[in-house]
Amino acid sequence: MSDIKKIKDNFILKLKENLDLNQVNQIKTDLFGKTGLISSQFKMMGKVPEEERKKFASNLNLVKDELQNLITAKIDDIETKEINQKLEKEKIDITLPERPFVQGKIHPVSQVIDEISSIFSEIGFSVEEGPDVENEYNNFTALNTPDNHPARDMHDTFYLDDKKELLLRTHTSPVQIRTMLNDKPPFKIIAPGRTYRSDSDQTHTPMFHQVEGLHIDKDINMGHLKGCLNYFIKEFFEVNKIKMRFRPSHFPFTEPSAEVDIGYEIKDGKIVIGEGDKWLEVLGCGMVHPNVLKNVKVNPDEFQGYAFGIGIDRLAMLKYGINDLRAFFDCDYRWLNHFGFDPVDVPSNYRGLSR
């Protein structure tokens, strides 16, 4: 057997053994290092008789390639095994416990605004919106509010500039003005939204919500106003009969003006709306003052109508038994979870209208 064949057989056997990387590298040196067995065979080439040299060389090259390939495959094999062992040992648990499913709740104010909007939309009112930052004209002057009116005082109103031209609207009534300036009568709108006054105690917050109502057409009278409010209160509190009283009052933008109280009683510690001999004030209203109509270029001899402003937060407290107004705006998740509404389980009179 030639030396080359011996080397080949011997090393093929060796490479089949269970080796580590160092041992394989040693084999590599033994074969292909400077004085390695295969390298030595190449050096011997010159001594091989000429007629055999070609065969010798091609055979040697074949063996060299074969052994080199075996060594490369063996190294690959060892490295793969090592990586797998490492991965096996270092196994990381990438699974996570499932996050608890928390469903959001609808805030009582949003809920009540939706309820109010849907009740009024059934009798032909459309919903209008206006900005929270208003100018003095829309909030006071156009609404026939005289310069010396207490509402204009810094103690009541949040002004945004020294000249008292910009302010946070103190009621939703400026939306009446915006609507009438932008369009032609008839008008039949409600305008829910945020309002601001410099006030804070258990029943007042500096920011609160109102819904404005405005109905202007030919031959609209106070009977329409009473009918409209009576319908609304019954629908809202889901009662068949409601005790209501109109108390004479004063607003610069309505004449005559009234404040509306609804009857209630306390039964088993709970408030029952519509019965009893106790009274709760829920809104302000009146027939739109001719000066307001003139200010928005509506002829008061041709068109008349009524307006009302309802405190939304107050209604929400009454309907859903919430007794501290301030909690509405504390952003306490526990409170919202308790008093909030399930988005898919809404009360019976909710008609699915969203703002």
Output 193 or 340, the one with its CB closest to ligand PHE: 193
Residue 309 CA to residue 142 CA, distance in Å, equals: 17
Residue pair 145/152 in contact (Cβ under 8 Å)? The answer is yes
Q: 173, 179, 205, 304: which one contacts ligand PHE (CB under 6 A)?
A: 173
Report yes or no: 133 and 166 within 8 Å, Cβ to Cβ. yes
- Contact range with ligand PHE by CB under 6 A, out of 10-18, 154-162, 282-290, 325-333: 282-290
- What is the Cβ-side half-sphere exposure of residue 137, based on CA atoms within 13 angstroms? 5
Q: Candidates 96-104, 114-122, 180-188, 306-314 — which segment interacts with ligand PHE by CB under 6 A?
A: 306-314
Residue from the set 108, 174, 192, 284 that interacts with ligand PHE by CB under 6 A: 284
Contact 260, 271 (CB under 8 A): no
Instruction: Find where tokens 């269970």 sit.
Output: 18
305 touches ligand PHE by CB under 6 A: no
* Closest to 346 (Cα-Cα) out of 102, 106, 92, 82: 106
In the bound state with ligand PHE, the residue whose beta carbon lies nearer, of 115 and 212, is 212
Binding mask 195-234 for ligand PHE (x = CB under 6 A): -----------------x----------------------
> Which residues within the stretch 11-50 sit at the binding site for ligand PHE (CB under 6 A)?
none
Q: How many alpha carbons fall within 13 Å on the CB side of residue 254?
A: 26
285 interacts with ligand PHE by CB under 6 A = yes
The three-class DSSP label of residue 282 is: strand
Task: State the minimum distance, in angstroms, from the CB of residue 146 to ligand PHE.
Answer: 15
H or E element that contains 288: strand 278-288
Q: Which of 263, 286, 305, 340 binds ligand PHE (CB under 6 A)?
A: 286
Return the bridge partners of 192, or none: 211
Contacts with ligand PHE, residue ranges (CB under 6 A): 171, 173, 212, 251, 254, 284-286, 307-309
